[in-house]
Structure 1
C-alpha cells in the first residue's frame, strides 16, 4: 500500500460524524485494497506516481475564487471552495420542489435515510470513490420532488486554489416524473488534487440532462466520477468534455435498474503537451428493454496520452436491449498515444448490440492544401478537426452551453499542432 493511501486511511479514521457507518465500510475495503500498478487492468495506462508525490493539502476556503461565468446561462449555483460548501456563493432562493441540504444539517432520522442512499449508486470497485467516501467532510443532498420540472440548470462547481486538496460529494435524487439539468465542473489554479463524485438516482419516468466539464489543465490531479441509476422509463442524456492535465481520470457508470430506461452518453477529449486523460465508462443493463447510445471522440497531440475503456454488460434478464458504443480518435503526432478498449459482455440472447473503435491521423495533404491557399496552419487545423468534435456539440440539448464551449474548443485546437 502506498504512503498516500495510508495517510488517507489514517485521516478518515479520525472523522467521527454522521457518515461514520459508511466511512467504516469504505475503510474496511481500502484496508484490503492493493495500490494500482501497471499490472492492475483498470490502471494499466494511467500511473499514479503523481498522486503519491503530491504535496497538496487541505486548505481553508479563500476569497476571490468564483465560478467562471457561462454567458446566457442562468443556473442554480452550488459552489464548493477547497472542498467545503460555500453557502455565500450558492443560490439561496430555490424553485418550488427543489431542496438542497448538507447532511450535517439534517435531523438524525433524515441522516439515517440519507445513509441508505449514500454510496449505493457508485460501485465499490472504484478505489478513489472509496477514498472520497473516507475523506469527504459532508454530503450535499439534492432532491427534486415528484413531477417537478426545474427550468434552470443546477451547476455544481468545485473551485480549488493552488496546492489545495479537495474531496467533494453530491447525491442527486429525482423522484418520479421529475426533470432536472445538472452541470458539473472543476476549476483549479494549479498543483491541486481533487476527487469529485456525484451520484444520480433517477426514479421512474424522470429525466436527467447532465454535463461534466473537465477543463482543468497543467499540473492538476483530478480523479472523479459521475454515476447514474435509472428506473422504469427514466431517461438521461450526458455530455462530457475533457482536457488533459498531469492526471485526469473520470469514471462513469450507468445502471439500468428499471425497464425501458434510455441512456445517451457523448464524450469528447482534446489533449496536448504531455497531458493525460483517462475515461472509464461502464453500462450495466440489468433489466429488459433498455437502450444505450454511447459516442466518444478524442483528439490527441504532441506527447499526450488518452485512455478509454468502455464496457457494456448485458445481464441474463436484460432481453430486448439495444446498446451501441462508438469510439473514434484522431492522432496529431506520431508521439501521441491512444489506448482504447471497447467491451461487450452479453448474457441475454435477444439483444441488438454493437461496438467499434477507430484511430486515424490528420490528413496532412489536406492541411498542406489549405496552407497553400493562404490559410494559417492553426486555422487550417481548426477547419479540418472541428467538425470531428462539433457533431457531438450539436447534440447538446442546451444550446447556450454549446455556444459557450465551442470557442473554448476552437482555441484549444489552435494550440494543438500537427507534428
Structure 2
C-alpha cells in the first residue's frame, strides 16, 4: 500500500459524522485494496506517481475563487471551494420542484434515504471513489420533484486554489417524469489534487441532460466519476469535454436498471505537451429493450497520452438491446500515444451491438494543400482538427453551451502542433 493511501485512510478514520457507517465501509475496503501498478488492468497505462507525490495541506487560501461565466446562461449554482460547499456563492432562490440541501442538514428520515443512496450507483471497484467516500466532508443532495421541468441548468462547480486537495460528493435524484440539465465543472489554479463524484438516479420517464467539463491542465491531478442509474423509459444525454493534465481520470458508469431506457454518451478529449487523460466508461444493460449510443473522439499532440476503455455489458435478461460504441483518435505527433480498448460482453442472444476503434495521423497532404492556398499552418491545423471534433459539438442539446465551448476548443487546437 502506498504512503499516500495510508495517509488518506488515517485521515478518514479521524472523521466522525452522519456518514460514519459509509466511511467505515469504504475504509475497510481501502485497507484491503492493493495500490495500482502497471499490472493492474484498470490502471495499466495510467501511473499514479503524481498522486504519490502529493502532500495533503490543512489550510489553503480560499478567497477570491468564483465560477467563470458559461455562455451567459442563467444557472442554479452549486459551488464548492477547495472541497467545501460555499453557501454564499451557491444559489439561494430555487425554482419550484428543485431542492438542494447539505446532507448534514437533512432531517433524520431524509438523511437515512441519503445514506441508503450513497454509493449505491457508483461501483465499489473504483479506488478513488472509495477515497472520496472516506474523505468527502459532506454530501450535497439535489432532488427534483416528480413531473418538474427545471429549465435553468444546475451547475456543480468545484473551485480549487493552488496547493489544495479536495473531495466533493453530490447526489442527484430525478423524480418520475422530471426533466433537468446538470453541468459539472472543475476550475483549478494549478498543483491541486481532487476527487469529484456525482451519482444520478433517474426515475421512470425522467430526462437528464448532462455535461462534464474537465478543462483543468498543467500540474493538476483530477480524478472523478459520473454515475447514472436509468429506470423504465428514462433518458439521459451526456457530453464530456476534457483536456489533459498531470493526471486526469474520469470513470463513467451507466446502469440500465429499467426497460426501454435510452443513454447517449459523447466524449471528446484534446491533449498536448506531456498531459494524460484517462476515460473509463462502463455500460450495464441489465434489463430488456435498452439503447446505448457512445461516441468518443480524441486528438493527442506532442508527448501526451490518452487512455480509453469502453465496456458494454449485456446481461442475460437484456434482450432486444441496441448498443453501439465508437472511438476515433487522431495523433498529431510520432511521440503521442493512445491506448484504446473497446469491449462488448454479451450474454443475451437477441441484441444488436457494434463497437470499433480507429487511430490515425493528421493528413499532412491536406495540411500542405491548405498552406499552399495561403492558409497559415496554425489555422490549417485548427480547420482540420475542428472538423474531426465538431460533429460531437453539434450533437450537444444546448446550443448556447455548444457555442461557448467552440472558441475554447479552437484556442486549444491553436496551441497543438503537428510534429
Q: What TM-score results when the alignment is normalised by the length of structure 1?
A: 0.99
Shift in Å at residue 220 of structure 1?
0.2
CA offsets 1:280-325 (integer angstroms, 9 cap, x no match): 0000000000000000000000000000000000000000000000
Residue 11 of structure 1 corresponds to which residue in structure 2? 11
Shift in Å at residue 58 of structure 1?
4.1
Superposition pairs for residues 205-244 of structure 1, below 5 Å?
Answer: 205-244=205-244
Distance, in Å, in 2 between the alignment partners of 1:331 and 1:89 is 41
Distance, in Å, in 2 between the alignment partners of 1:56 and 1:268 is 31
Residue 416 of structure 1 corresponds to which residue in structure 2? 416
Residue 119 of structure 2 corresponds to which residue in structure 1? 119
Q: What TM-score results when the alignment is normalised by the length of structure 2?
A: 0.99
Distance, in Å, in 2 between the alignment partners of 1:221 and 1:185 is 15
Superposition pairs for residues 75-94 of structure 1, below 5 Å?
Answer: 75-94=75-94
Contact 1:122 1:227 in 2 (8 A): yes
Residue 334 of structure 1 corresponds to which residue in structure 2? 334
Distance, in Å, in 2 between the alignment partners of 1:247 and 1:411 is 21
CA offsets 1:127-166 (integer angstroms, 9 cap, x no match): 0000000000100000000000000000000000000000
Superposition pairs for residues 114-263 of structure 1, below 5 Å?
Answer: 114-263=114-263
Superposition pairs for residues 228-377 of structure 1, below 5 Å?
Answer: 228-377=228-377
Shift in Å at residue 57 of structure 1?
2.4
Shift in Å at residue 55 of structure 1?
2.5
Distance, in Å, in 2 between the alignment partners of 1:57 and 1:402 is 37
Contact 1:290 1:318 in 2 (8 A): yes
Superposition pairs for residues 21-60 of structure 1, below 5 Å?
Answer: 21-59=21-59
Shift in Å at residue 110 of structure 1?
1.9
Superposition pairs for residues 373-412 of structure 1, below 5 Å?
Answer: 373-412=373-412
Distance, in Å, in 2 between the alignment partners of 1:400 and 1:58 is 39
Shift in Å at residue 373 of structure 1?
1.6
> Relative to structure 2, which stretch is displaced further, 389-398 or 365-374?
365-374
> Relative to structure 2, which stretch is displaced further, 275-284 or 60-69?
60-69
Shift in Å at residue 56 of structure 1?
4.4
Shift in Å at residue 111 of structure 1?
1.2
Question: What secondary structure, in the 3-state scheme, does the structure 2 residue paired with 1:385 have?
Answer: helix
Distance, in Å, in 1 between the alignment partners of 2:62 and 2:284 is 41
Contact 1:59 1:82 in 2 (8 A): no
Distance, in Å, in 1 between the alignment partners of 2:249 and 2:378 is 28
Question: What secondary structure, in the 3-state scheme, does the structure 2 residue paired with 1:21 have?
Answer: helix
Segments of 5+ residues of structure 1 without an aligned counterpart are: none
CA offsets 1:35-87 (integer angstroms, 9 cap, x no match): 00000000000000110011242435622101111133111000000000001
Contact 1:58 1:82 in 2 (8 A): no
Shift in Å at residue 109 of structure 1?
2.4
Shift in Å at residue 114 of structure 1?
1.0
Distance, in Å, in 1 between the alignment partners of 2:207 and 2:162 is 37
Distance, in Å, in 1 between the alignment partners of 2:347 and 2:18 is 40
Distance, in Å, in 2 between the alignment partners of 1:182 and 1:386 is 26
Contact 1:298 1:330 in 2 (8 A): yes
Shift in Å at residue 6 of structure 1?
0.5
Contact 2:60 2:161 in 1 (8 A): no
Contact 2:181 2:210 in 1 (8 A): yes
Distance, in Å, in 2 between the alignment partners of 1:246 and 1:417 is 19
Distance, in Å, in 2 between the alignment partners of 1:200 and 1:111 is 17
Segments of 5+ residues of structure 2 without an aligned counterpart are: none
Shift in Å at residue 349 of structure 1?
0.2
Q: Cα gap change, 1:56/1:13 in structure 2, threshold over 3 Å: closer, same or farther?
A: closer
Distance, in Å, in 1 between the alignment partners of 2:61 and 2:230 is 35
Question: What secondary structure, in the 3-state scheme, does the structure 1 residue paired with 2:289 have?
Answer: coil
Distance, in Å, in 2 between the alignment partners of 1:231 and 1:349 is 22
Contact 2:60 2:163 in 1 (8 A): no
Residue 20 of structure 1 corresponds to which residue in structure 2? 20
